Amino acid sequence: MYDKSNVISVSCLQYTSTTNELHTLEMIKPLINKAIDLGSDIIALPECATAIQGDPLNTIKLAKTQSENISLKILKEIAKTNSVHILIGSLPIKTNNKITNRSFLIGPNGKTLYKYDKIHMFDVNLPNGESYKESDTYSPGSKAVLAKVKLQKIVKIGMTICYDLRFPKLFQDLAINGAEIITVPSAFSKNTGKLHWHTLLRARAIETGCFIIAPAQTGTHCKGRKTYGHSLIISPWGKIIADAKKETNLINAKINLDIVKEARLAIPNLNAQRKYLTDL
């Protein structure tokens, strides 16, 4: 028999952020309200949660400190008014003349419970000619974050952002330290998304024995940037529980954290790692 106190409701919002954060916020409020009506314990928003600029210089110019950030303020108010946890996938935050790509976990009291600065910068040159250099805009974080969230019980949530997905050691370290859920808010490139998104997320779920919660941007943004969509909720066995496909949408699932224990007992790879020589 499953313990009902280990069942939680999670929702992922999927949409197309504009260059205007207030416009984006108005656009997504109906999705947030729908997630609230579904009884969600956690509502997860994607990376670049309220704005995607077409130029890194605009991102830097418009970035605010935490205390000045209007999106953070409004989403905190929504969390408090509705007594719900909100994962803000990321916002550009100014700190000491630098910009960080920062994810926030907001509690039902409207306070920031945890924050995570994206560690791995998306600096790539894709075969189709697309080029991205996130490090021109953001300074990388340097600390993994494991949130301990009080729902019916304490739930341990590992926080990552988008390109972190390609670095399995981060996910394994979070799982070894107790993560039951790992969040992967993203604005994944459409071209690499078609090839890698589902495969990488399912692999991270299987490797860690965690639920993966991956809210994603979708559609065409400023200056033709295209994101892949397909927000996903995945079980510790790698089963896709919900897929938002390509449209502006919301997915919701009730997940049972007992399945984390089941998966790890059946395949105890996290505790079976061995040291080995790397003098190759």
Question: Which residues are known catalytic residues?
Answer: 47, 118, 162
Helix axes 168-176 and 198-208, enclosed angle (nearest 10): 30
User: Taking a C-beta distance cutoff of 8 angstroms, is the pair 12, 44 a contact?
Assistant: yes
Report how far residue 117's alpha carbon sits from residue 126's, in angstroms, rounded to the nearest whole number: 25
- State both tokens at 230: 């397909």
Report how far residue 247's alpha carbon sits from residue 249's, in angstroms, rounded to the nearest whole number: 6
User: Taking a C-beta distance cutoff of 8 angstroms, is the pair 239, 210 a contact?
Assistant: no
User: Taking a C-beta distance cutoff of 8 angstroms, is the pair 197, 188 a contact?
Assistant: yes
Report how far residue 51's alpha carbon sits from residue 45's, in angstroms, rounded to the nearest whole number: 12
User: Which residue, among 50, 106, 45, has the nearest Cα to 251 in the 3D structure?
Assistant: 45
How many CB atoms are located within 10 Å of the residue 246 CB?
14
